[in-house]
Amino acid sequence: MQFAIVVNEGPYTHQASDTAYHFTKAALEKGHGITRVFFYHDGVNNGTRLTVPPQDDRNLQKLWSELGEKHKLDLVVCIAAAQRRGILDADEAKRHGKDASNIAPGFRISGLGQLIEAGIEADRLVVFGD
């Protein structure tokens, strides 16, 4: 089965990103496909490479990046939600005259159309978070 995943909460405050990660990993291990992982609302905060969690805790951004690299996942951060919350790639930083970008490896910034498209293409759209 093809799953599209939506992550609507940032890391650590809420368990949604952890649960989405474990669901995605388990689905892949069972031989299912992941159409796309779409990060929306505060979920875009999973896509900054500047988080530095304590060493005895999990690093969610790194977990997502590694899972993405291993399975060639399409990890998409919503551009409108990202701009509100200061998640930028190099192009967006330049376009808005900002002095830095922070998008994490394996993530890309794109529009909400990617969410709708994932919903159309996947067999199931699974939403994590409030």
Q: Which part of the chain contacts other proteins (CB under 8 A), choosing from 47-55, 62-70, 89-97, 105-113?
A: 105-113
CB nearer to other proteins: give 26 or 80.
Answer: 80
H or E stretch at 76: strand 75-78
Select from 40, 116, 115, 54 the least CA-distant residue to 85: 40
Q: Considering only residues 27, 81, 82, 103, which one is a binding residue for other proteins as defined by CB under 8 A?
A: 81
Known catalytic residue: 11? no
117 part of the interface to other proteins, by CB under 8 A: yes
CB nearer to other proteins: give 65 or 85.
Answer: 85
Residue type, 37: V
130 part of the interface to other proteins, by CB under 8 A: yes
The two structure tokens encoding residue 108: 């890309």
Q: Considering only residues 75, 115, 118, 128, which one is a binding residue for other proteins as defined by CB under 8 A?
A: 115
CB atoms within 10 A of CB 102: 17
Report, in Å, the least distance between residue 6 CB and other proteins. Answer: 10
- Any residues with CB less than 8 A from the CB of 118 and at least 6 apart, and which? 4, 35, 36, 38, 125
Residue that is written with structure tokens 């990660």 in the block: 21
Q: What are phi and psi of 35, to 5 degrees?
A: -60, -45
Instruction: Give me the active site residues, please.
Output: 78
Residues at the interface with other proteins (CB under 8 A) = 40-41, 80-81, 111-113, 115-117, 119-121, 130
